[in-house]
């Protein structure tokens, strides 16, 4: 006669699926062994249970022991998550762990995770090891840049951490693996002074440009990209900041009678990021405008006013500085296309992107001896470390300040 199990003990029983042939051990009986563990009680007094099954009693005992080990580690086993895979964990994180992020950010994380998931996405999350992660990262590094591998590894760690927070795994094995070095990516380049002058000249003199193939009646005037290029090159603002710039934040006159005098300036307070926030807090800055930029923006303001009259009721009053022919925000892809055409006309090639106007700004300042602290402040970097790491190729390679001072001191003696 079977005895009643004591409180706290697990329940193990055999579930018949045919006639019983061995009442004592059920060795030849059709059916499955079932195990049950009690996790606690609900508010109405019902037990919370987790059940396992197996072909043998020993396998059920092992599964129950594994459940107890999870409980000891602070993991509450969830029904149906025994076969929870890494791909499922990544999909859950992308769907629920990136609240408040833009769709573009979600897509970027999805893209950098996919090469990793192709290798180990089918692995059960509970069985995933650091060796698996290293193998997947190594395969990704064989075909992707170091920056992409680093972003993929970071996204993987965050996805597993999301599962860890939901008590689906005991530890984050992705944090135990180092990020391998990937392929050399395309480095940022900067225009020389002569090339920059050629690009500005081409932007000012180039005739109207088609916005997209097939739209013959939608053309953009030269004043648009001339003002865009001059402003980006001479102030160093990011492309995302330029496309979000509003006329309300641009002062082309200043107030020279004020004490101290207020020069023409632009307030960089917004970007095209989610909620309009700039990249960092220090990116919110007010920059003086060179005279060339003031002239270019005045010319574009006059031309934009003409486009507004031509559009009539179809004009969208967004208040943006750089707009399409109906007043809406410029598309980043169209900006890149127009910029490439200008660079080709200027004779510097078509391998340039608008963001490299910013690196050119840093390069030209550095070659004129401006301190890295001042460059970081003008560029809106969170720290000088960003300026040194990201723009290292554009920074002046020879620091001569110490030599110049020592020459002055010891030549006199």
Query: Active-site residues: which are they?
Result: 238, 279, 358, 381, 391
- Please answer whether residues 311 and 304 qualify as being in contact, where contact means their C-beta atoms are separated by less than 8 angstroms: no
Tally Cβ neighbours within 10 Å of residue 76. Answer: 13
Phi, psi of 38 (to 5 degrees): -100, 125
Give yes or no for a contact between 297 and 231, defined as CB atoms under 8 angstroms apart.
Answer: yes
Q: Tell me whether strands 250-251 and 265-268 are parallel, antiparallel or unpaired.
A: antiparallel
Cα 262 to its chain centre, rounded Å, is 37
Phi–psi pair at 14, nearest 5 degrees: -110, 130
Classify residue 329 by its DSSP letter.
B
Decide if 373 contacts 251 (C-beta within 8 A).
Answer: no
The residue behind tokens 């193939």 is 213
Question: What DSSP string runs through 348-386?
Answer: S-S---TTHHHHHHHHHHHHTT--HHHHHHHHT-SSHHH
Residue 120 sits at φ, ψ, to 5 deg, of: -130, 15
Those residues with Cβ within 8 angstroms of residue 306's Cβ, 6 or more apart along the chain or in another chain: none
**Structural contact between residues 107 and 84, judged by C-beta atoms closer than 8 angstroms:** no
């Amino acid at each position: 006669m079977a005895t009643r199990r004591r409180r706290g003990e697990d329940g193990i029983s055999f579930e018949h699926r045919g006639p019983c042939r061995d009442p004592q051990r059920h060795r030849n009986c059709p059916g499955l062994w079932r195990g049950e563990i009690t996790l606690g009680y609900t508010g109405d007094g019902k037990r919370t249970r987790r059940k396992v099954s197996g072909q043998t009693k020993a396998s059920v005992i092992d599964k129950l022991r594994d459940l107890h080990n999870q409980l000891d580690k602070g993991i509450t086993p969830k029904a149906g998550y025994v076969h929870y895979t890494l791909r499922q964990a990544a999909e859950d994180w992308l769907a629920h762990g990136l609240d408040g992020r833009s769709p573009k950010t979600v897509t970027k994380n999805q893209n950098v995770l996919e090469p990793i998931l192709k290798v180990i996405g089918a692995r059960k999350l509970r069985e995933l090891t650091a060796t698996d992660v290293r193998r997947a990262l190594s395969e990704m590094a064989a075909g992707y840049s170091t920056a992409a591998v680093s972003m993929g590894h970071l996204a993987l760690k965050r996805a597993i951490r999301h599962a860890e927070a939901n008590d689906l795994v005991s530890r984050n094995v992705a944090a135990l693996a180092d990020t391998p070095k990937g392929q050399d990516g395309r480095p940022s380049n900067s225009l020389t002074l002569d090339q920059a002058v050629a690009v500005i000249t081409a932007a000012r003199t180039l005739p109207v440009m088609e916005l997209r193939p097939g739209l013959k009646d939608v053309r953009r005037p030269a004043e648009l990209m001339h003002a865009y290029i001059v402003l980006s090159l001479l102030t160093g603002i990011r492309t995302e900041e330029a496309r979000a710039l509003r006329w309300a934040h641009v002062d082309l006159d200043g107030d020279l009678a004020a004490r101290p005098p207020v020069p023409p300036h632009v307030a960089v307070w917004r970007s095209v990021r989610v909620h309009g926030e700039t990249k960092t807090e220090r990116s919110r800055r007010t920059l003086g405008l060179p005279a060339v930029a003031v002239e270019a923006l005045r010319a574009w303001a006059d031309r934009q006013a003409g486009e507004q009259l031509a559009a009539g009721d179809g004009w969208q009053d967004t208040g943006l500085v750089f707009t399409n022919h109906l007043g809406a925000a410029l598309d980043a892809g169209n900006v890149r296309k127009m910029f490439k055409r200008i660079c080709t006309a200027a004779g510097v090639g078509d391998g340039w992107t608008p963001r490299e106007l910013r690196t050119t700004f840093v390069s030209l300042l550095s070659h004129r001896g401006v301190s890295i602290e001042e460059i970081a402040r003008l560029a809106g970097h969170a720290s000088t470390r960003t300026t040194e790491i990201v723009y290292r190729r554009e920074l002046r390679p020879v620091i001569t300040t110490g030599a110049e001072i020592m020459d002055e001191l010891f030549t006199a003696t």
